[in-house]
Amino acid sequence: MKYISTRGQAPELNFEDVLLTGLASDGGLYVPKDIPQFSQEEIQSWAELPYHELAFKVISPFVGDSFDEKTLKRILKETYTGFAHKAVAPLQQIDHNEYVLELFHGPTLAFKDFALQLLGRLLDESLQKRDEKVVIMGATSGDTGSAAIEGTKACKNVDIFILHPHNRVSEVQRRQMTTIKGDNIHNIAIEGNFDDCQQMIKQSFADQSFLRGERRLVAVNSINWARIVAQIVYYFYASLNLGGPKREMAFSVPTGNFGDIFAGYIAKKMGLPIKQLIVATNKNDILHRFLSKNLYEKHPLQHTLSPSMDIVVSSNFERLLFDLEDRNGEKLAELMEKMGSETVSLDEAKMSKARELFDSYAVDDQTTSDTIKEVFEQSEYLLDPHTAIGVKAARETRRDMNIPMITLGTAHPVKFTDAIKKAGLVSPSLPAHLSDLMEREEKFSVLENDLKAVHNFVEKTIF
Ligand SMILES: *Cc1c(COP(=O)(O)O)cnc(C)c1O
């Protein structure tokens, strides 16, 4: 399996090299050159498989010969038997023909564990084989940091530096990062905001000279293709559990960087019958405005009750645009350049093609809170604010009541107690493995909002 850049100028890579890279050298994102295809009969034959075995069927064609069959099977089994629910991704019914796919039974209680638990293990395997060490740097406003640290804490050849804005993440989220023990884990609280943190990460990737050519930087945000691959599996799992592939399904996806929903798009291309994919956003609704009005226009960041979806632009959307532009890298590079600085519209024909599959809907904080309350009153099911946005968008844009509607449950409500209280409900208690989180010892360093200070810290720590 070969991977190509969406901007057409970077070298083709295999899965393992893509795993160990961030952006392509031309500024694009890596995507598979060809998407593996499965017949309905073959997909049907997976109906009884437990999650990790299904994961092998779905993921192995993307991995190619980067990892041998036995190793990949072992890694997938280790990854998903570590989840707190035996079904790994259980479905909960909330109304007639309407479901939530619970993706929050991993160690950090958000769906990002599906990808980062796997990514950490793949990295570890690869780096030990190559006898190489790498540095992971990432910025987080919430869920990514803890999931990345949990995923890579056992990797001997990885040092991980996660930047978060000092005093601007919730206590549960901070403690989920700062209480994980390990000599290779380095939490840095920056005296600045999330954008400052993210800017420093971008600059570090662009100029890696502070690593003296001895180590490379690996990205753990959703531009890493290995993350997308892991997320394709649960679309198959949910569908097979509700009578697919004989029946079509609709999915509603709480969306930020467009990684999770892009995995659903790939599942469809692989042969899974998906009728509708709903892009559910909060007030940071650039994708909703684009899909509904064909106007791509950046607005300033707004802080909402669903912080993990607070974005200005969605990095993975480039991967969909690449397909809409008939995989023409040169044209896409031009388009991305334009989108960086001005308001852009697509050809109406291309937009119609996207709308055959995608719908979109934006939900404000008040409606998020109302939805949490409404669903709890109707079905005694407690939604987190991100999932609530998915459920609301599903109910507003559903095309066919006979097709099962599945909203991806992206986080456990206990992570967002403010939103639950705002809905007038009692927040649940932390699950057993985190019950002493508030008493655990924290470890993090506070640094000024200055790239040089961060680089000095990294150098001092690893050399
Ligand atoms: C990251 C995240 C999202 C958004 O996912 P994308 O892949 O960035 O679109 C939604 N909900 C929660 C809880 C998240 O952590």
State both tokens at 17: 């090299």
Say if ligand 1 is within 6 A of residue 110 CB: yes
Q: What is the pLDDT of residue 80?
A: 97
> Ligand 1: which of 100, 143, 232, 315 to mutate, most ligand atoms within 8 Å of CB?
143
Residues 110-138 have a mean pLDDT of 95
Tell me the C-alpha distance between 349 and 360, whole Å.
18
Of 7-11, 34-38, 215-219, the one with minimum mean pLDDT is: 215-219
Helix axes 143-152, 171-178, angle to 10 degrees: 20
Q: What is the pLDDT of residue 289?
A: 97
For tokens 């050519």, what's the residue?
A: 213
> Ligand 1: which of 104, 108, 111, 170 to mutate, most ligand atoms within 8 Å of CB?
111
Verify whether residue 331 is a known catalytic residue: no
Q: What is the pLDDT of residue 21?
A: 85
Does residue 445 sit within a domain? no
For tokens 């939103």, what's the residue?
A: 419
- What percent of the chain clears pLDDT 90, i.e. is strictly above it? 85
* Distance from Cα 69 to the centre of ligand 1, integer Å: 30
Tell me the C-alpha distance between 434 and 337, whole Å.
44
Contact 405, 99 (CB under 8 A): yes
Number of domains in the chain: 1
* Distance from Cα 388 to the centre of ligand 1, integer Å: 13
CB burial of 15-45 (b: ≥16 within 10 Å; e: otherwise) equals: bbebbbbbbbeebbbbbbeebbebeeeebee
**AA identity, residue 50:** P
Q: Is a pLDDT exceeding 80 seen at residue 142?
A: no
Q: What is the pLDDT of residue 168?
A: 83
Residues 289-296 have a mean pLDDT of 96
Choosing from 2, 33, 70, 112, the catalytic residue is 112
- Can you point out the beta strands (E) in 214-287? 216-218, 249-254, 274-281
Of 81-85, 166-170, 275-279, the one with minimum mean pLDDT is: 166-170
Say if ligand 1 is within 6 A of residue 256 CB: yes
Say if ligand 1 is within 6 A of residue 307 CB: no
Does residue 161 sit within a domain? no
Q: Is a pLDDT exceeding 90 seen at residue 131?
A: yes
Q: Give residue-wise pLDDT tens across range 31-56.
A: 999 999 999 999 999 999 999 999 99
Q: What is the pLDDT of residue 164?
A: 94
Q: Is the peptide bond before 90 cis (omega within 30 degrees of 0)?
A: no
Question: pLDDT-based confidence at 377, cuts 50/70/90?
Answer: very high
Does residue 300 sit within a domain? yes
Question: pLDDT-based confidence at 326, cuts 50/70/90?
Answer: very high
Say if ligand 1 is within 6 A of residue 411 CB: yes
Q: Give residue-wise pLDDT tens across range 347-356.
A: 999 999 999 9
* Distance from Cα 212 to the centre of ligand 1, integer Å: 34
pTM assigned to the model: 0.95
* Distance from Cα 55 to the centre of ligand 1, integer Å: 20
- What percent of the chain clears pLDDT 70, i.e. is strictly above it? 100
E strand or H helix at 408, and its extent? strand 405-409
Q: What is the pLDDT of residue 195?
A: 80
* Distance from Cα 407 to the centre of ligand 1, integer Å: 13
Using the atom order of ligand 1, give the atom closest to the CA of residue 387: 11
Q: What is the pLDDT of residue 311?
A: 87
E strand or H helix at 100, and its extent? strand 98-102
**Nearest residue CA, atom 14 of ligand 1?**
308
For residue 61, the Cα-to-chain-centroid distance in whole angstroms is: 21
Q: What is the pLDDT of residue 231?
A: 98
Contact 111, 69 (CB under 8 A): no
CATH of the domain at 285: 3.40.50.1100
Q: Is a pLDDT exceeding 90 seen at residue 463?
A: no
Q: How many CB atoms lie within 10 A of CB 269?
A: 15
Does residue 103 sit within a domain? yes
Q: What is the pLDDT of residue 401?
A: 96
Q: Is a pLDDT exceeding 80 seen at residue 180?
A: yes
Say if ligand 1 is within 6 A of residue 304 CB: no
Q: Is a pLDDT exceeding 90 seen at residue 73?
A: yes
Q: Is a pLDDT exceeding 90 seen at residue 306?
A: yes
Question: pLDDT-based confidence at 172, cuts 50/70/90?
Answer: confident
Of 7-11, 139-143, 197-201, 211-215, the one with minimum mean pLDDT is: 139-143
Residue 406, classed as helix, strand or coil, is strand
- Identify which of 100, 62, 60, 55 has the alpha carbon closest to the alpha carbon of residue 79: 55
Residues 147-175 have a mean pLDDT of 92
Does residue 319 sit within a domain? yes
Of 96-110, 385-399, 413-427, the one with minimum mean pLDDT is: 413-427
Q: How many CB atoms lie within 10 A of CB 439?
A: 8
Q: What is the pLDDT of residue 194?
A: 83
Contact 369, 305 (CB under 8 A): yes
Using the atom order of ligand 1, give the atom closest to the CA of residue 384: 13
Say if ligand 1 is within 6 A of residue 262 CB: no
> Ligand 1: which of 225, 309, 415 to mutate, most ligand atoms within 8 Å of CB?
309
Give helix then strand counts, H and E, for the chain: 18, 13
Helix axes 451-462, 194-206, angle to 10 degrees: 60
Does residue 66 sit within a domain? no
Contact 141, 110 (CB under 8 A): no
Tell me the C-alpha distance between 76 and 56, whole Å.
7
Q: What is the pLDDT of residue 15?
A: 97
Does residue 62 sit within a domain? no
Residues 148-177 have a mean pLDDT of 92
Q: What is the pLDDT of residue 3?
A: 98
Say if ligand 1 is within 6 A of residue 254 CB: yes
Rounded to 5 degrees, φ, ψ at 263 are: -60, -35
Tell me the C-alpha distance between 339 and 322, whole Å.
13
Does residue 177 sit within a domain? no
Say if ligand 1 is within 6 A of residue 255 CB: yes
Residue 29, classed as helix, strand or coil, is coil
Range of the domain at 413: 87-107+226-422
Say if ligand 1 is within 6 A of residue 149 CB: no
- Residues near 388 by Cβ (< 8 Å), separated by ≥ 6? 306, 363, 368, 369, 371, 372, 375, 419
Average pLDDT, the chain: 95
Q: What is the pLDDT of residue 248?
A: 98
